Structure 1
Amino acid sequence: MGALRGRWAEEVACRYLLERGYRLLGRNRRTPFGEVDLLMEKDGVYVVVEVKQRATPAFGTPLEALTPKKVRRLLKSALFLLGRDDLPVRLEAVLVHGSPKAFRLEHRVLEV
């Protein structure tokens, strides 16, 4: 994802989640396992959010970019950031289809 489009997609996703009662704890947090786009909290559960954006399906959909390996790395990153493995954690994705002129969002809970 291009840097400008990536920032735009993350901002759209963040606003979407904030409007639904999520609380932002951090953005673009780097770990030895990769980067966490958004670290949030909702109803006492820590939520690690991956944002994927595709302007067109020419190179696959945003969901197709979330491989099982990527999901496992997100979980490892979450546990690293939280410093404990006994906290309630959920992995989610906000998938952005389109570009700033015309887009739709898809919000999913990821299975580990």
Structure 2
Amino acid sequence: MKFLGFGRKQAVAEPAPATGGSTTRAQGNAAEDRALAHLQSAGLQLLERNYRTPGRGGGEIDLVMRERDGTTVFVEVRSRASQAFGGAGASIGAVKQQRIVLAARFYLMRLASPPPCRFDVVLVEELKVQWLKAAFDSQ
């Protein structure tokens, strides 16, 4: 970001570099598609995709899945083009985890009897998909 103008500084975004015609959102959708396919091939069933809490400041869950044993799995999908800055796994901080947990609580409130659940992360980096079961908890 560059600062232009006189007196007060104004932030002006520079144009995004070309990424082969693919937007960040399209890349994210592609990563979610790959993660979903990976989880479904392992026997999980999709319950919901991109679940969002009502109102502002809430959270979003990329994939809500069900294990064969009935466990509800809240999945965060992270994708990075390179390992720079720790790769995809390093991008899930405490604040992001709290937002996912908040969204999961909203999701579970809709159910008459909440099932056992866990929080997984699927990392999509170049040609590799890595599934981290129980990557974090709700505490």
Instruction: State if a TM-score over 0.5 links the two structures.
Output: yes
Is 1:28 equivalent to 2:53 in the alignment? no
Provide the residue aligned with 1:41 in structure 2.
66
Normalising by structure 1, report the TM-score: 0.87
TM-score by length of 2: 0.71
- Mean Cα deviation higher: 55-64 or 5-14: 55-64
- Identical-pair percentage: 36
Aligned residues: 108
Return the offset for 1:76: 1.4
> Which structure is higher in strand share?
1
User: Structure 2 counterpart of 1:24, which letter?
Assistant: L
Paired with 1:86 and 1:29, the residues of 2 have a C-alpha distance of 17
CA distance in 1, matches of 2:51, 2:136: 21
Partner of 2:118: 90
1 or 2, which has the higher helix percentage?
1
Highest Rg: 1 or 2? 2
- The corresponding residue for 2:136 is 111
Q: Which runs of 5+ in 2 are unaligned?
A: 1-22
* Aligned mates of 1:87, 1:56 — CA distance in 2: 36
Amino acid at match of 2:64: L
| 1:48-80 deviations in Å (ceiling 9; x for gaps) | 000000011234411111112211221111110
Say which structure, 1 or 2, has more relative contact order (CA 8 Å, 6+ apart).
Answer: 1
Unaligned runs of 5+ in 1: none
Please provide the CA RMSD for this pair.
1.8
